[in-house]
Amino acid sequence: MEPLSIRELKSGASESPLKADLQLQLTQTSLKETRTGKAYRELIFGDAEGSLTLRVWSDHPMFSKSENLKALQFLLISGQWVDKGQFGIEPQSWDFRDLTAEEREAMLRGPKALRAKQTEDYEYIQRSAESLTDPRLRLVSQKFLETYGERFLRTAAARTYHHARRGGLVEHVAQMMRSASALLSVYPNLNADLVVTGVLFHDCGKLWENNYLKNGFTMPHSEVGELLGHIPLGIELINKLWRDLASDEAIADEWDRLTPKTEDVRCHLLHLIASHHGTLEFGSPILPKTPEAMLLHFVDNIDAKLEMFKEGYEKSALIGKNVYERQRPLFHALVQPLEKCEPCPQSELETAVSEMAPATSLASPETAGTMLPAKDAVIEGNQGAATGDGSSASGAEEL
């Protein structure tokens, strides 16, 4: 049986038991007690796409066996899984074994579909860096990928809100580059090289703030990440890469002959990193003061927000017809988006038109070819509402 990911388990589990295997890493284990003093063991697991918490009660057969589990251990858990609603997903009967070395390596690479997407995204980023016209921005981008590419590939874009998974930053940056490229075709006067490089580096400080362990699915907090944050770290990284490249006399001489001036290029790139959060209250030390900086801020915001919508539809509970619970940090419930229109085959379209013809021919000259104005639209279920005297009202509620 092919193992399921945590995401697949959560989307497929229901009140009926689902038999499934999961390849997981134990990220945290702790012994706890309820308010009444009943002991239980809390096990938190992770994989490439999510996390799963299991509670093993002291009277459960697996309580003593789970006592020897260690954090960062890789396991195959087999069981009958049931969705308990507000209590989460629980296994009715389950057991586990250690993963083999081969299984562990395959798991670290992520599910096949996710692995393929992140590989494609990283190659797109590489091609975008190689295609930059400005040799200074091209060299600093290539130097970054050569030096920190492996770390980049296991960094998350955030801890919780969006692309919060191993390799999520690569997905976020690649999608931002695609969006920026589309907008640059509409605004050709902007400095495209600067925007693309700004996209690449805007969150580069997260390589020390949101980095997963090389051999695991845990994202430990680092002292430097907490003390400085990813914006100052990103500025420091760019300055380091820039100095390292300029220390080569041949490169420095070439850069001195270029326009605009090399120091201006570096300063504008630093401004993009410093201002990409858009406002002071959201952590940017400076506001976007160039068109390129403003575009970068909005492209970043668009991709993050749309990812939150995507994850909300996958994870949030339905609270009404086509309405989902709020997905933080969004400030509202989510509504199912409208499906795309699928054009009818020509034969079906012709049939529909012919069926409409008799009704059209009965229309008066005054009303033929017209539609009801928007103010006459009614809310379904309000027609013929009862009046206070027991009669039926024929009026419709206006929107």
Cα–Cα distance for residue pair 134/259, rounded to 1 Å = 9
φ, ψ of residue 303 to 5 degrees: the values are: -65, -40
- Do 64 and 185 sit in the same domain of this protein? no
Tell whether the model's pLDDT for residue 371 goes beyond 80. Answer: no
Asked if residue 50 lies in contact with residue 6, where contact means CB atoms within 8 angstroms, the answer is yes
Asked if residue 110 lies in contact with residue 166, where contact means CB atoms within 8 angstroms, the answer is yes
- The answer to whether position 285 is within a domain reads yes
Predicted local distance difference test score (pLDDT) of residue 282: 86
Predicted local distance difference test score (pLDDT) of residue 143: 98
352 vs 327 pLDDT, higher one? 327
Q: What percent of the chain has pLDDT over 70?
A: 86
- The answer to whether position 326 is within a domain reads no
- The answer to whether position 65 is within a domain reads yes
- Do 127 and 87 sit in the same domain of this protein? no
Closest CA to 173 of 219, 134, 126: 126
Q: Which two tokens stand for residue 296?
A: 């970068």
Tell whether the model's pLDDT for residue 392 goes beyond 50. Answer: no
Which amino acid is present at 387?
T
Residue at a domain's end among 271, 296, 313 = 313
- Do 208 and 117 sit in the same domain of this protein? yes
Taking residues 21-26, report their average pLDDT.
94
Residue at a domain's end among 53, 78, 104 = 104
Which amino acid is present at 310?
K
Q: How many domains does the chain have?
A: 2
Strands 334-335 and 323-324 come out as antiparallel
- Do 162 and 305 sit in the same domain of this protein? yes
Model pLDDT for residues 29-62, shown as the tens digit of each residue: 999 999 899 999 999 999 988 889 999 999 888 9
Q: Is 0.85 surpassed by the pTM of this model?
A: no
Asked if residue 138 lies in contact with residue 195, where contact means CB atoms within 8 angstroms, the answer is no
In terms of DSSP H, where are the helices of the chain?
6-12, 62-65, 101-108, 112-130, 135-152, 168-186, 192-201, 223-228, 230-246, 249-256, 262-275, 291-315, 346-361
- The answer to whether position 379 is within a domain reads no
Model pLDDT for residues 198-217, shown as the tens digit of each residue: 999 999 999 999 999 888 88
> Of how many residues is the chain composed?
399
Q: What is the domain extent for residue 18?
A: 6-104
Asked if residue 72 lies in contact with residue 25, where contact means CB atoms within 8 angstroms, the answer is yes
Which amino acid is present at 32?
K
- Do 303 and 254 sit in the same domain of this protein? yes
- Do 24 and 127 sit in the same domain of this protein? no
- Do 167 and 269 sit in the same domain of this protein? yes
Predicted local distance difference test score (pLDDT) of residue 275: 98
- Do 85 and 122 sit in the same domain of this protein? no
Q: Is 275 exposed, middle or buried (0-12, 13-18, 19+ CB in 10 A)?
A: buried
Asked if residue 126 lies in contact with residue 145, where contact means CB atoms within 8 angstroms, the answer is yes
Predicted local distance difference test score (pLDDT) of residue 390: 46
Predicted local distance difference test score (pLDDT) of residue 85: 77
359 vs 322 pLDDT, higher one? 322
Q: Name the DSSP class of 82.
A: E
Model pLDDT for residues 225-236, shown as the tens digit of each residue: 999 999 999 999
136 sits in the region (left: phi over 0; alpha: psi -120 to 50; else beta) called: alpha
Residue at a domain's end among 275, 297, 313 = 313
Tell whether the model's pLDDT for residue 342 goes beyond 60. Answer: yes
301 sits in the region (left: phi over 0; alpha: psi -120 to 50; else beta) called: alpha
- The answer to whether position 345 is within a domain reads no
160-164, 176-180, 311-315, 395-399 — most confident range: 176-180
Position 387 confidence tier, pLDDT thresholds 50, 70, 90 = very low
Element containing residue 99 per DSSP (H, E): none
- Do 99 and 121 sit in the same domain of this protein? no
Predicted local distance difference test score (pLDDT) of residue 352: 66
- Do 141 and 90 sit in the same domain of this protein? no
Predicted local distance difference test score (pLDDT) of residue 301: 94
- The answer to whether position 226 is within a domain reads yes
Tell whether the model's pLDDT for residue 383 goes beyond 70. Answer: no
SS3 125: helix
- Do 94 and 114 sit in the same domain of this protein? no
Closest CA to 215 of 109, 118, 75: 109
Q: What CATH number did the domain enclosing 99 receive?
A: 2.40.50.140
Q: What percent of the chain has pLDDT over 90?
A: 59
Lowest average pLDDT, out of 87-91, 102-106, 297-301, 303-307, goes to 87-91
135 vs 314 pLDDT, higher one? 135
- The answer to whether position 376 is within a domain reads no
Lowest average pLDDT, out of 88-102, 195-209, 312-326, 365-379, goes to 365-379
- Do 135 and 253 sit in the same domain of this protein? yes
- The answer to whether position 137 is within a domain reads yes
Predicted local distance difference test score (pLDDT) of residue 395: 44
Model pLDDT for residues 260-284, shown as the tens digit of each residue: 999 999 999 999 999 999 999 888 9
Cα–Cα distance for residue pair 399/395, rounded to 1 Å = 13
Cα 263 to Cα 23, 138, 251: the distances in Å are 50, 15, 14
Position 357 confidence tier, pLDDT thresholds 50, 70, 90 = low
Element containing residue 57 per DSSP (H, E): strand 51-57
Q: What is the DSSP string of 161-229?
A: SSS-STTHHHHHHHHHHHHHHHHHHH-TTS-HHHHHHHHHHTTGGGGTTSBPPTTSS-----HHHHHH-
